[in-house]
Amino acid sequence: MEHKTIFKNREVLKVNGERLWSRMMEMAQIGGTPKGGVCRVTLTEEDKKGRDLFIKWCEDAGCTIEIDQMGNLFARRAGKRADLNPILMGSHLDSQPTGGKYDGVYGVLAALEVIESLNDLDIVTEAPIEIVSWTNEEGARFSPAMIGSGVFTGEFTLEYAYNQKDKEGVTLGEALDQIGYKGEFPIGERTYAASIEVHIEQGPILEAEKKSIGVVTGVQGIRWYDLKVKGKETHAGPCPMHLRKDPVKATLPILNEIYQLAEQFAPDSRATIGDIVPTPAVRNTVPSELNITVDLRHPQSEILDEMHYRLQEIISQYHNQNGIEVTLEEIWHSPPVAFAQDVIEAIQASVEDLKVPHMKMVSGAGHDSVYLSRVTPTAMIFIPCEDGLSHNELEKAEKEDVINGADVLLNTALKLAMY
């Protein structure tokens, strides 16, 4: 589709950047940490406060709020034609336990800013426009990540999601009830003409290339594994080293090979060991076992599959060596995603209209847009974040880039909503 430049008073349309910035700083107070980060973990009291504030802002902007059974929040601005499917914009308001002020919340508040700017500009689109904030994108409290959009798009059942437990044994369903955000609206019964998510890059590429906007054409594939290395618990004193079945010692070469696996498929491959849990975790006891998480990523399906097979080979090579059991369970697989050409083109046309430095790129992180793209034409807009730092209290984005991203979102939404 050809996308026309949208002018008003001979100017390309822009958002109110100061308002967006001040809303972001206000939201960052909720769960704000002394180091300047945010702890607004999903379905906690802090998350509830963030949701409450967001809904108030949306209502003030004239939106209609609907909350679905997963606690996903939808704020709708009517278009001229109620028969058209709306354009969806948004991301998530939850954060990592030691997260930053930009991850997720930027995409939600940029979408709100688009609607407030349309109000200011007195523009009514043909199609309605909706903002969404998805529940539990981070996966920090309840596994898996992106479960709100996952249930929405049919990846998981509602029952599965409700039964997921946090470390204290609280289920996601109970946690939704506890903060009063288990909505009535049937999950998934909403259809959209297109979906756009603006987000910080969470990587160092745009900064290194000195670009303000990334036109995101797809997302890396991800495979998650639980690795268990089982030895034998023994007292740290009496048992000689050569008689031990020490799972810590046995783990070292395995993790080394996993890092080497990533190197073999450099530069686009990723291997991350995020968590290691020894049992019983006592200073003077050789652990009986280690439970370890493994996260492998690559933008090409065939290469990610190859990494998957090689990982299994590594595991089988170490299994049953010296009395150590090594087992691997794949718990999640998100294949690489190619975003919708038409939405990419609308974003590309918008960055050209706005004349901001930009590049096409692939996302290294998973996003709700991965699931959305299965049911709706979807693409993403990235802005740089300092040093590529994310999931970190020091996460930082430049105000100029934050505003550029919202301007791109505004113009893209207008093109797609047929203004």
Question: Would you list which residues are annotated within the binding site?
Answer: 92, 103, 138, 199, 391
Angle between helices 399-416 and 17-27 (to 10 degrees): 110
Nearer to a copy of itself, 81 or 235 (CB): 235
Query: Residue positions in the annotated binding site for Zn(2+)?
Result: 92, 103, 138, 199, 391
Shortest distance in whole angstroms from residue 290 CB to a copy of itself: 8
Shortest distance in whole angstroms from residue 31 CB to a copy of itself: 15
Nearer to a copy of itself, 30 or 262 (CB): 262
Shortest distance in whole angstroms from residue 415 CB to a copy of itself: 27
Beta strands 325-334 and 276-279: pairing type?
Answer: unpaired
Nearer to a copy of itself, 58 or 381 (CB): 381
Nearer to a copy of itself, 36 or 274 (CB): 274
Closest alpha carbon to 247 in 318, 311, 329, 313: 318
260 sits in which H/E element = helix 247-264
137 sits in which H/E element = none
**For the chain, what is the radius of gyration of the CA atoms?**
23
**Cβ proximity of 11 and 18 under 8 Å:** no
Residue 2 makes CB contacts below 8 A (sequence gap 6+) with none
Shortest distance in whole angstroms from residue 104 CB to a copy of itself: 12
Nearer to a copy of itself, 169 or 238 (CB): 238
Shortest distance in whole angstroms from residue 78 CB to a copy of itself: 36
Nearer to a copy of itself, 86 or 247 (CB): 247
The Cα 415–Cα 419 span in angstroms is 6
Q: How far is CA 266 from CA 159, 303, 321, 366, in A?
A: 39, 11, 29, 19
Instruction: List, in sequence order, every residue forming a beta bridge with 227; answer none if it has no partner.
Output: 292, 328
Shortest distance in whole angstroms from residue 384 CB to a copy of itself: 11
The Cα 115–Cα 54 span in angstroms is 13
